[in-house]
Structure 1
Amino acid sequence: MSSERVTSDLLLTLVNTRPSENGRVDQLDDVPGLTAWLAGAGLTVADPVTGADVAAARELRDALTDILRVHCGCGDASAAEAEAYLRAVAVRYPVVLRVTVDGVTAEASQTGIPGVFGTVLAAAADLSARGAWPRLKLCKNPSCHAGFFDKTRNQSGQFCGAACNSQMSMRAYRSRRRTAPTP
């Protein structure tokens, strides 16, 4: 698995903890939810997770979601707020550069939950350095809005998968049929 895929997976698993109209529940609703997400993402922390950690994780998730919303062309009303928030988060949870003969990587400089948030920011920095940051988008299906990695050559992907693409195509078709004049 490429490191681009690993870093995008970490960001997308965080973004996709949001609730949706298609039945996805908020996975960061409480301490057990954040603990389960951490375990599922392969991230470990020594200290117990607190309610403040859950609130901070939701804020980080929501800011990343706003950025992905801009990437898909779904609106930019909160992009400035999201960018400002992420800049503040980067100050609170700094990353350091690790330089080796193989290259340079960004890593969290702290441990615990601050280290987890730093790891998320390092993943975003890695994707940006590879030119892949704009490929992280939200599905344009209003009932889904799942985060996805756009694998299209020209970065024109709009839906997380074939099911959402088909559903939106059918909605558009039905809408055209309703508004078309009858002969």
Structure 2
Amino acid sequence: MNWPATERHCLTPAPGGLALVQELLNTASAGHPDSVDLLADGALDRAQDWADLAVRGWAGETGRGDVRLVLAADDLLKLRCLRDQLGRALAADDGSGGAVRFTSAPVVVALSGDGVLTVEPEGAGARWLASAVLAEALLAQASGLWRRLKICRNDSCRAAFYDRSRNNSGVWHSVRGCGNAAHLRACRERRRTQQESGVEL
């Protein structure tokens, strides 16, 4: 399991390094009673276990060597803030939110002997992870993949999913789960409104 936060919600990871962005977003509990916030205060061991797997998954997806990331207790708040900013940015992209200013993080752009440019994260702890996540978000924007990373519109869920639909029209991470629940709520609301207005069904 390379993407524990995403896979615990039974979601397919986004392609390539974008999966790291999705993974950070899915560290939130996403409204599921049996899932916890992997970056909650006081849960440094759980956060470190998550980071070890996520960074290993990212390294494998992007062809990098092993990275050892060590989180400190004060990194958890920083990562939750970054997660919240990313979530608001994705909501802004779908027209349901306002503009969001990202946290900044340093990266190194390297040119290899074969002429390939790479973007390498810098720093330690939360700073390194923010650098990797923001670099992957930038690369996804440049390649057109960013618009397919979405937050489920079910307010009690908010899981991050990669929309693989042909026309990029997905709004729920699960049509059967969150989509059906939304349709059922809308149907009940229409029925209630019609009954209150005296309209026969």
Question: TM-score normalised by the shorter chain: which range applies?
Answer: 0.7 to 0.9
Identical amino acids, percent of aligned pairs: 33
Partner of 1:94: 106
In structure 2, the residue matched to 1:69 is 91
Is 1:141–1:159's contact at 8 Å kept on the other side of the alignment? yes
Q: What is the aligned partner in structure 1 of residue 80 from structure 2?
A: 58
1:162-177 equivalent positions in 2, closer than 5 A: 162=175, 163-177=177-191
Q: Read off the aligned partner of 1:72 and give its amino acid letter.
A: D
Pick from 146, 149, 163: which aligns with 1:133? 146
Query: 1:25: Cα distance to partner?
Result: 2.1
- Residue by residue over 1:48-107, the C-alpha shift from the partner in whole angstroms, topping out at 9 and shown as x without a partner, is x2221111111111111111121233322xx33xx1xx2xx32xx311223344743322
Pick from 116, 130, 133 the counterpart of residue 120 of structure 1: 133
Match of 2:37 in 1: 26
Normalising by structure 1, we get a TM-score of 0.80
TM-score by length of 2: 0.73
RMSD: 2.4
- Structure 2 CA distance, aligned partners of 1:178 and 1:59? 39
Whole-angstrom distance in 2 between the partners of 1:12 and 1:179: 38
1:13 aligns with 2:35: no
**Where is the helix percentage greater, Structure 1 or Structure 2?**
1
Q: Which runs of 5+ in 1 are unaligned?
A: none
1:104 aligns with 2:117: yes
**Structure 2, unaligned runs of 5 or more:** 1-13, 57-66
- C-alpha change, 1:161 and 1:98, in structure 2 (3 Å) is farther
Is the contact between residue 74 and residue 140 of structure 1 (CA under 8 Å) also seen in structure 2? no
Q: Which moved more, 1:171-180 or 1:62-71?
A: 171-180
Count, aligned residues: 170
